[in-house]
Amino acid sequence: MNDDRRWLERHTAQAPPTLRQRVMRYAGDADAGTLPARLAAAGVSALAWVESHPGDRSAALDLLAADALVTLALLAQAQQDATRLYAFAGTMLQSATAAP
Span 75-99, average pLDDT: 90
User: In the chain, how many domains are there?
Assistant: 1
CA distance 98 to 85: 20
CB atoms within 10 A of CB 63: 15
Q: Supply the pTM of this predicted model.
A: 0.89
Banded model confidence at residue 9, pLDDT cuts 50, 70, 90: very high
Helices (DSSP H) in 1-100: which residue ranges?
3-11, 17-29, 35-51, 60-81, 85-98
Per-residue pLDDT tens for 14-45? 999 999 999 999 999 988 799 999 999 999 99
Is the Cβ–Cβ distance between 39 and 25 less than 8 Å?
A: no
Range of the domain at 33: 3-98
Is the Cβ–Cβ distance between 69 and 23 less than 8 Å?
A: yes
